[in-house]
Amino acid sequence: MSGERYMLDTDILVFMLRGLKLPDAKNERRVQAERIRKRIEQKLRAGSMIYISTVTVCELEYGATKADDPGKERRALYKILAPFELLGCDAMKMPRLYGEIRRNLEESGKPIGSMDLLIAAHALAAGAILVSNNVKEFSKVKGLQAINWARV
- 117 in a domain, yes or no? yes
Print the domain residue range for 22.
5-147
pLDDT in tens, 8-60: 999 999 999 889 888 898 899 999 999 999 999 999 999 999 999 999 999 99
Tell me the pTM: 0.91
How confident is residue 2, by pLDDT bands cut at 50, 70 and 90? low
- 152 in a domain, yes or no? no
Task: Note every long-range contact of 118-121, with CB atoms under 8 Å and residues 24 or more positions apart, other chains counting.
Answer: 118/53, 118/55, 118/94, 119/7, 119/9, 119/10, 119/53, 119/55, 119/56, 120/144, 121/94, 121/95, 121/97
- 88 in a domain, yes or no? yes
pLDDT of residue 1: 46
